[in-house]
Structure 1
């Protein structure tokens, strides 16, 4: 294993609005025996071209994150986190971690969120979606990450940061989960998504590009870009949350929320005073700690949570 700190390179590449200090240590891939391939017929990945796992300690503004992350994903999966049947509500949520489409924050924006939902009776599925290809070398990867943060902070530039295959994977994950509704004890009509940062963008794109019952039934849009989008008239309900001191998107206003409202679709906004970008399931010492309970309460208020007969 190797450890690498590249704050100097990132400070050069990234403007003062969002200077991440990143320390990265390579780690072995975790046990993924419970993961379900989205495309089981994909050919085996050659040695040296498979995904790379690391522990990343990231500071963005006032926010410090310590996550296990993965990059260079080419074989996407979903990993189920199922509730105790005694308290299962029949609702399901696909969890889409973020990472600028260069990596995925698999703990803080993935398994931590999924476990919280499962503990509260909601079946959760962490989506490991395909990403932009990045250098195998850690130093080159971190330089690329710094440049990506710089691009994301530019006005109007964030919509050019994309990975179409992530959207395909989200829609495929929804299809698989719904097709196994009996196995998982869930209601296909109460199957939604929650995404963080690039995962929020993936969730949004699945909503905008999916048709009818292909799209999520409801969405959690957590510190994604707040710029305007064209919202279809039959868009599902949105729960949106962001910190007012978000290092990437705090200057964008709330245009996406207004667009949802003007389209006649239900939307709820939580704008926390502090939390910066990447607070995951909640940053201690801030009101972002209410994120998951508030998302759950919103689901309950919409009639999404009830025990199956």
Structure 2
């Protein structure tokens, strides 16, 4: 979902300023991860316009990076942040760390989730693995809320692009715990923020790369990697591959909204040619039908993948979003 001019694969070693701590998501064995000796996280550097973007290509060890605001500013509100990347990687800087730092300015704690990708080379039951990690992140933050000065009833989830699909899945599929939960901790986010999200798995709406990576079957991992290596042609090639109809329904989150879905802030650019804006429009309609509070922020221009800095506008969605978060969590 990012146009690349050059790729440099490195061992993951980001310098994260203002981050208090990086916490492993699991103690001991990571559920559904294959035991592969020497497996490590890897990353690439992409050039997109004038920006160099760090992109995690493989997550061997899922974790949370904790960004706590200054104590004098702390509101007790927390947001778990899911970077996007078509379920083939994570744009961890501008769709992760940058958002957390911005939230800290308003006294909101940020937890950047480095979740595992649905790659059958490294995991079993690939379609549930990202959701397992999102549920574990919610559980971990809620059970440690007191330690971090967080109100356990003010924990939201934010997602960008395919991370938006994960965030909306975490909310619409929270009733079924995919992780051990001995304390019966609530896995329901209290609010949700979606930034140019993939919502639907339907043929006419979805981002094909995200859909096939998550629920597609039949291609060997190396075959899929070959198709995905050419961003210009991959969508059409993947559109021609069959995907289980029941899985399409299950992971089309516009079909999973209920009156129990939490308040939602959703933003998108109308000219997004990667993830169609209709994803957000349909989700808003489903929320309204179920009388769930929703606030939207649309750009006329901006395309896809800009994070919190849309160069086509002098107004940034994140400012309106933070005002909304503070308002609903009074």
TM bracket (short chain): 0.7 to 0.9
Residue 298 of structure 2: which of 267, 271, 281 is its match? 271
- Give CA deviations for 1:246-282 in whole Å, capped at 9, x if unaligned: 0123363611110011011111111111111111012
Q: Which residue of 1 aligns with 2:143?
A: 179
Q: Which residue of 2 aligns with 1:209?
A: 173
The reply to whether residue 244 of structure 1 matches residue 208 of structure 2 is: no
Change (3 A) 1:252 1:89: same
The reply to whether residue 292 of structure 1 matches residue 318 of structure 2 is: yes
Change (3 A) 1:31 1:105: closer
Q: Indicate the SS of the match to 2:113.
A: strand
Q: Whole-Å Cα distance in 1 between the matches of residues 157 and 148 of structure 2?
A: 16
Instruction: Decide whether the 8 Å contact of 1:101 with 1:131 is kept in 2.
Output: yes
Q: Indicate the SS of the match to 1:85.
A: coil
Q: Whole-Å Cα distance in 2 between the matches of residues 271 and 134 of structure 1?
A: 36
Instruction: Decide whether the 8 Å contact of 1:102 with 1:134 is kept in 2.
Output: no
Instruction: Decide whether the 8 Å contact of 1:42 with 1:75 is kept in 2.
Output: no
Change (3 A) 1:175 1:19: closer
- Give CA deviations for 1:81-103 in whole Å, capped at 9, x if unaligned: 00000000100000100001110
- Displacement of 1:226 after TM fit? 5.1
Query: Which 10-residue stretch deviates more, 91-100 or 111-120?
Result: 111-120
Which structure 2 residue ranges, 5 or more long, are not aligned?
Answer: 176-184, 201-253
Q: Whole-Å Cα distance in 2 between the matches of residues 168 and 93 of structure 1?
A: 17
Instruction: Decide whether the 8 Å contact of 1:37 with 1:76 is kept in 2.
Output: yes
Q: Whole-Å Cα distance in 2 between the matches of residues 133 and 58 of structure 1?
A: 25
Which structure 1 residue ranges, 5 or more long, are not aligned?
Answer: 1-17, 137-161
Residue 40 of structure 1: which of 12, 27, 51 is its match? 27
The alignment's C-alpha RMSD in Å is: 2.5
- For residues 119-134 of structure 1, the aligned pairs below 5 Å read 119-133=105-119
Q: Whole-Å Cα distance in 1 between the matches of residues 54 and 99 of structure 2?
A: 14
The reply to whether residue 26 of structure 1 matches residue 9 of structure 2 is: yes
After TM superposition, the score normalised by the length of structure 2 is 0.72
Q: Whole-Å Cα distance in 2 between the matches of residues 282 and 290 of structure 1?
A: 6
- Displacement of 1:121 after TM fit? 0.6
Q: Which residue of 1 aligns with 2:152?
A: 188
Change (3 A) 1:39 1:107: same
- Displacement of 1:284 after TM fit? 2.3
- Displacement of 1:31 after TM fit? 5.5
Residue 43 of structure 2: which of 34, 53, 56 is its match? 53
Q: Which residue of 2 aligns with 1:200?
A: 164
Regions of 4+ moved over 3 Å: none
Aligned residue-pair number: 256
Q: Indicate the SS of the match to 1:268.
A: strand
Q: Which has the higher strand share?
A: 1
- Give CA deviations for 1:5-39 in whole Å, capped at 9, x if unaligned: xxxxxxxxxxxxx8934422223422689321111
After TM superposition, the score normalised by the length of structure 1 is 0.76
- Give CA deviations for 1:211-243 in whole Å, capped at 9, x if unaligned: 393111000011113543231221100101000
Change (3 A) 1:36 1:226: closer
